[in-house]
């Protein structure tokens, strides 16, 4: 699962603030029902391939036709991080639990490298904090760290995957099935509309939002690692997670914050199954087009 990294940027702070765990999240309030028809009637330039969904809290959501479960690649790691943070919330000044890698972890990293997967090298005896592990999971999208986190927190990958599916059910993700914590398994499937539910839930956890908003982090063994999201910090994009492989195509779960007529809008979206050129770049381009298209129509929607 190869990911395209952005140009090297300055090292961002890794400070984590307290995680607030949301319950079921609504996209609208009772006073805003009248606006939903406007949101659903607007024209969105959906990607010509794959599927997509987009939403604004308070105004509702809109999805492209043909929503069906498909592989989601590394976008699955959002659920992995979300569950870790639900189990072990990070607080200000606290790096969370620690993990010590052994020869099995080294062999797993080497195997991932040989297989062409996204990974980070590890060393036997290396100690890594929860914060560092989540940075490795979310920025360079390390498959081997996804497995290590699953085993560390739930004792086994199957136990962790079972929890992923329980949480997905609780969030109303009715067309989602997780079979692994990294998304490398093509039988981990979902829809753009389902993943949109997770996007907002995850970004309501401050520690998660802090992590996906970093362009770079420093790990104890490999040093600097970079975020695969090259839109980060541009056009209002504040995250969230890219993904790509041959089964899934290019995928991107995102949040973009835009100001229109003095009002701040949080726009969440997901694109799946993009192709045509580098896969991640195709997903990023589709997301940017969607957000720009929606932003241009916001003055009308929000009247």
| Residue 191 pLDDT greater than 60, yes or no | yes
| Residue 16 pLDDT greater than 90, yes or no | no
- Which residue has 């908003």 as its token pair? 213
Backbone angles phi, psi at 153, to 5 degrees: -90, -30
Structure tokens at 144: 């081997």
Alpha-carbon distance of 4 to 18, in angstroms, equals 31
- Beta carbons of 122 and 140 less than 8 angstroms apart: no
Q: State whether residue 258 is helix, strand or coil.
A: strand
State whether the Cα torsion 261-263-264-267 is positive or negative. negative
pLDDT for the residue 38 = 55
pLDDT for the residue 34 = 43
Alpha-carbon distance of 258 to 233, in angstroms, equals 12
Sequence ranges of the domains in the chain: 30-301
CA–CA–CA angle 299, 282, 53 (5° rounding)? 45
Alpha-carbon distance of 102 to 164, in angstroms, equals 25
Left, alpha or beta for 195 (phi > 0: left; psi -120 to 50: alpha)? alpha
pLDDT for the residue 302 = 61
pLDDT for the residue 23 = 36
pLDDT for the residue 6 = 35
How big is the chain, counted in residues? 303
Q: What does the pLDDT look like over 228-268, one tens digit per residue?
A: 999 999 999 999 999 999 999 999 999 999 999 889 999 99
| Residue 62 pLDDT greater than 50, yes or no | yes
pLDDT for the residue 22 = 36
Q: State whether residue 160 is helix, strand or coil.
A: helix
Rg (CA), the chain: 18
Q: What does the pLDDT look like over 100-109, one tens digit per residue?
A: 999 999 999 9
Alpha-carbon distance of 281 to 293, in angstroms, equals 18
Give the DSSP H/E element, type plus range, for residue 170: helix 157-170
Structure tokens at 124: 């036997």
- Beta carbons of 145 and 133 less than 8 angstroms apart: yes
Q: State whether residue 43 is helix, strand or coil.
A: coil
> Among 299, 243, 291, 300, which Cα is nearest to 62's?
291
CATH superfamily of 30-301: DD-peptidase/beta-lactamase superfamily (3.40.710.10)
Stretch 187-201: mean pLDDT? 98
Share of the chain above pLDDT 90, in %: 78
What does pLDDT average to over the chain?
A: 88
| Residue 289 pLDDT greater than 70, yes or no | yes
pLDDT for the residue 59 = 86
Other beta carbons less than 10 A from residue 235's beta carbon? 14
Structure tokens at 62: 């809109």
Greatest CA separation for the chain? 60
Stretch 30-34: mean pLDDT? 43
Binning pLDDT at 50, 70 and 90, where does residue 169 land?
Answer: very high
| Residue 40 pLDDT greater than 80, yes or no | no
Give the DSSP H/E element, type plus range, for residue 268: strand 263-274
- Beta carbons of 244 and 279 less than 8 angstroms apart: yes
Backbone angles phi, psi at 182, to 5 degrees: -110, -25
pLDDT for the residue 33 = 45
Direct distance between the N- and C-terminal alpha carbons of the chain, in angstroms, rounded to an integer: 44
């Amino acid at each position: 699962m190869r990911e395209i990294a952005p140009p090297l940027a300055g090292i961002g702070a890794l400070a984590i603030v307290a995680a607030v765990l949301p319950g079921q999240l609504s996209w609208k309030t009772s006073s805003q029902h009248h606006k939903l028809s406007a949101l659903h009637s607007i024209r969105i330039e959906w990607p010509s391939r794959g599927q997509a969904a987009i939403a604004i809290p308070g105004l509702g959501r809109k999805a492209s036709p043909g929503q069906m479960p498909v592989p989601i690649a590394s976008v699955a790691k959002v659920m992995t991080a979300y569950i870790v943070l639900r189990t072990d919330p990070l607080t200000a000044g606290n790096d969370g639990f620690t993990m010590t890698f052994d020869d099995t972890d080294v062999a797993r990293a080497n195997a991932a490298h040989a297989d062409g997967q996204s990974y980070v090298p590890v060393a036997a005896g290396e100690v890594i904090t929860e914060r560092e592990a989540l940075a490795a999971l979310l920025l360079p999208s390390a498959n081997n760290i996804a497995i290590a986190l699953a085993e560390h927190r739930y004792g086994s990958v199957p136990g962790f995957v079972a929890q992923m599916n329980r949480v997905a059910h609780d969030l109303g993700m009715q067309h989602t099935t997780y079979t692994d914590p990294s998304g490398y398994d093509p039988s981990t499937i979902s829809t753009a509309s389902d993943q949109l539910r997770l996007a907002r839930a995850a970004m309501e956890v401050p520690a998660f939002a802090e992590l996906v908003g970093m362009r770079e982090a420093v790990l104890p063994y490999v040093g600097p690692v970079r975020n695969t999201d090259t839109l980060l910090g541009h056009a209002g994009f504040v995250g969230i997670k890219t993904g790509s492989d041959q089964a899934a195509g290019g995928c991107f779960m995102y949040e973009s914050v835009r100001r229109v007529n003095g009002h701040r809008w949080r726009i969440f979206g997901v694109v799946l199954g993009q192709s045509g050129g580098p896969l991640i770049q195709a997903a990023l381009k589709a997301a940017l087009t969607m957000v720009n298209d929606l932003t241009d129509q916001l003055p009308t929607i929000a009247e």
